[in-house]
Amino acid sequence: MFSNGTEAMMWQDRNCQRCWKYNPERELQKARCKIEADIAIGWIDSSLMSERSKKIIELADCPYRQETRPVYKKRDKESMTLFEDGTKNG
């Protein structure tokens, strides 16, 4: 756990604010990152934080931080097959 607010802010600067999922304006229920939401809840009552989040904040670097948003290749529906023989309807 963080020993004080400054330590918590430093951890967020190092991890959350470098992550594409970070958005301090977003409601906690809609947060893309559970750890970010748990830290925000922890400012009020640390007993409400999940055990997973408590273990992660003990680390210097968050293992779930993604500095760039993943880009997924769109699937070409025409080239997709459902069955081994290459047909779409069996």
Asked, for residue 16, whether it belongs to a domain, the answer is yes
Question: What share of residues in the chain are helix, strand, coil (percent, to 5)?
Answer: 40, 0, 60
47 lies in a domain?
yes
Domain count, the chain: 1
> Model-level pTM?
0.68
User: Domain range for residue 22?
Assistant: 5-56
Q: Is residue 77 part of a domain?
A: no
Mean pLDDT lowest among 16-25, 44-53, 56-65, 70-79 = 70-79
In a domain, 81, yes or no: no
67 inside domain: no
Q: Which two tokens stand for residue 18?
A: 């470098």
Per-residue pLDDT reduced to its tens digit, 1-47 = 788 889 989 999 999 999 999 988 888 888 899 998 898 888 888 88
